[in-house]
């Protein structure tokens, strides 16, 4: 590899609080030096930033890819391409493949397939229970040894309290991270959208907001008893956020994440039976969306993750009750989240912390930082550049975006993994 020098960039490192103009040199796939100015080796390639932001590559801790089993929705290659276009250099993939990632052989299959693509780094979750069935614990110790970064039953809540208690006790002994889909299944069963006036007007069965906090509160009692590390996925309601806030104040090892669509959209998006706005958990009332933003600002919510959930056209262009849940989002995570910066609700460094070092630390990844000698996983972006999100302009194999036609600010210009350019924007 030729040395590569980024010049005239705004260096941003949330881990250290760095926010200053400068340069950064990449050699042999590593960050060789950065600062106000750096020495230029012979034969160096210059990337003129023209004031663009250069930060650690984004880390997306919650994506669904369809390989193996549902490649018609998303292959690893197409999902990784979308991630690179979104400035994401590391993704954690959920275990709800077919078959699920519930044994070391399946975990190694996904990791090996990703390595062959030589692009964005892929870190598999492992199933918390065998077959994602919620009855018998998977071989957690063997899966950790095989490289699982965390354990979850993906889109399904682990409903059995005794099984969850055993999982948390075992996870505590091994210092594993347990990730829960926060939804009480019997309350949510058959639900399509958020319970409320809009659901009634559309004649659709609702999913009550209390289904989320009931599961979170139950699990917090178990965390209190076991001392385990517990993470609430895609939190979406004020009550659940308040519960996590209290748990953190108590000293419990509890963290949570939200999604770009839950911080930017509310239940009004399902008007007209828009199935592309059908997600799990559902888009909530405006008061809950505001609570999500408040939780991000005050630090209760640790991470923003895309919850990229690709669906094919045949799964989405159906009546609302029959359509699949999920939206894609790995490619639009940064520009949608930048809304909080443009509206003055968060600083750019604080936002990037939730997209880089915070998820990396939760999963134990060597990522999310600008450090001399670290892997050159980098994202160059123009925080002000406007563009319109369109299905045709997205790299994912699936096109089920909830942001079709939206104007956003923030365009990824270049994505680098281990010193290799894996995405470059061309106007």
Active site residues: 307
Q: How far apart are CA 42 and CA 25, in angstroms?
A: 12
Q: How far apart are CA 65 and CA 86, in angstroms?
A: 15
Using DSSP's 3-state secondary structure scheme, residue 131 falls into: helix
The distance of Cα 308 from the centroid of its chain, to the nearest Å, equals: 7
Q: DSSP string spanning 171-232?
A: HHHHTPEEEE----HHHHTT--EESSHHHHHHT--EE-THHHHHHHHHHHHHHHHH--EEEE
Cβ atoms 29, 376 nearer than 8 A: yes
* Dihedral, CA of residue 127, residue 132, residue 136 and residue 138, to nearest 10: -20
Q: How far apart are CA 235 and CA 251, in angstroms?
A: 19
Q: How far is CA 10 from CA 47, 54, 344, 379, 427, in A?
A: 13, 6, 19, 11, 21
- Token pair 């690709």: residue: 310
> Residue 150 is encoded by which pair of tokens?
């965390």
């Amino acid at each position: 590899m030729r040395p590569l020098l980024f010049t005239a960039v705004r260096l941003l490192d949330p881990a250290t609080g760095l926010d200053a103009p400068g340069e950064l040199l990449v050699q042999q796939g590593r960050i060789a030096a950065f600062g106000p100015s750096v020495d230029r080796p012979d034969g160096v390639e210059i990337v003129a930033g023209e004031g663009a932001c250069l930060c650690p590559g984004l880390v997306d801790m919650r994506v669904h890819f369809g390989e193996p089993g549902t490649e018609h929705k998303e292959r690893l290659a197409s999902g990784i391409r979308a991630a690179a276009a979104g400035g994401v250099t590391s993704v954690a993939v959920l275990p709800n493949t077919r078959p699920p990632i519930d044994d070391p052989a399946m975990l190694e299959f996904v990791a090996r397939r990703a390595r062959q693509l030589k692009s964005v780094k892929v870190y598999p979750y492992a199933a918390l229970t065998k077959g994602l069935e919620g009855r018998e614990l998977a071989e957690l110790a063997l899966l950790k040894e095989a490289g699982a970064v965390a354990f979850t039953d993906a889109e399904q809540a682990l409903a059995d309290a005794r099984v969850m208690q055993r999982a948390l006790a075992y996870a505590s002994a091994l210092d594993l991270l347990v990730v829960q889909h926060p939804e009480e299944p019997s309350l949510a069963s058959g639900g399509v959208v958020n319970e409320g006036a809009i659901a009634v007007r559309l004649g659709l069965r609702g999913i009550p907001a209390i289904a989320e906090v009931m599961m979170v509160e139950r699990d917090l009692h178990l965390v209190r008893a076991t001392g385990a590390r517990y993470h609430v996925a895609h939190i979406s309601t004020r009550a659940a956020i308040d519960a996590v806030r209290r748990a953190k104040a108590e000293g419990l090892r509890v963290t949570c994440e939200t999604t770009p669509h839950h911080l930017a959209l509310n239940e009004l998006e399902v008007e007209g039976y828009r199935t592309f706005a059908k997600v799990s958990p559902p888009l909530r009332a405006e008061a809950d969306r505001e609570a999500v933003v408040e939780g991000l600002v005050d630090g209760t919510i640790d991470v923003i993750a895309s919850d990229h959930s690709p669906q094919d056209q045949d799964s989405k262009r159906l009546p609302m009750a029959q359509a699949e849940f999920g939206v894609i989002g790995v490619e639009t995570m940064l520009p949608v989240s930048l809304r909080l910066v443009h509206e003055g609700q968060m600083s750019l460094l604080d936002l990037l912390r939730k997209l880089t070092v915070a998820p990396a630390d939760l999963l134990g990844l060597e990522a999310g930082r600008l450090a001399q000698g670290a892997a050159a996983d980098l994202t160059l972006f123009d925080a002000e550049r406007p563009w319109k999100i369109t299905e045709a302009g997205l790299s994912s194999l699936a096109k089920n975006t909830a942001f079709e036609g939206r104007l956003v600010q923030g365009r990824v210009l270049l994505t680098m993994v281990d010193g290799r350019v894996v995405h470059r924007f061309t106007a």
